Amino acid sequence: MLLQIKFPELGLAREDCVEMSWIQSTLYVAGFPIESREVLLNRSDPGVRSFKSKSDYVQKPTPVKGLEGMWRRLLEAEAAAAAVLLMPYGGRMPEIGESALPFPYRGGNLFEVAPVVYWNGDGDSERYVDWIRRLQRYMTPYVSSSPRAAYFNYRDLDIGVNGDGGKTAILGC
C-alpha cells in the first residue's frame, strides 16, 4: 500500500482505509450514511444543516498577525460550528501545465483557504452568512488579488454579483 511506503510513521494498514466513490465521499463529509443517496434530493429534511462556504487562494505566506485575526473570528458565537480548511498546493503541481488537466490553480498558489459555517434551520441564516462574509473581508489582504481567485466548482453566489439588481456574471477564476 502506497501510504505504508510514503508515510510509514502513520502505521496505517489496508483495513484502516475505505475506498469510496465521489458521491459516497460527499455523503460522508456531510455526515450522512454513505448508502443513503436519496437524502441529497430531500431539500426540506429538518435534520439537514444549512451551510455557507467560501474559497480563496493564498500566494504568499500569511503573517502570524493575519492568522491570529482569523483564529479570533473563529471564537465568535457564529463560528461555533465553523471550520477553515487549508488545502496545501505545491510539490509537483506547478510542473503540470494549465491546459494538461482542468485545474488551472496550480501555479503560484501556496494553499487554498476555504472557511465553512453550519447552522440548523432557516431563522438565523443571515447571521451566519454575514459572519463568513466578514471573515472573507478580513482575509482580503492575505489572499490573491487582481483578480481575487476562488475555486470555480464551489458554488458561491457572492462571486460575480453585480450592483444592478442581483444579476450575476459568470466568472472563471
**Three cell numbers written together for 72:** 479570533
**CA–CA dist 108, 149 (Å, integer):** 12
170: helix, strand or coil: coil
134: helix, strand or coil: helix
H-state helical runs in the chain: 2-6, 22-30, 64-74, 125-139
**What DSSP string runs through 83-118?**
EEEEEE--TTGGGS-TTTSS-TT-TT-SEEEEEEEE
Task: Point out the residues that are catalytic.
Answer: 154
**CA–CA dist 106, 41 (Å, integer):** 33
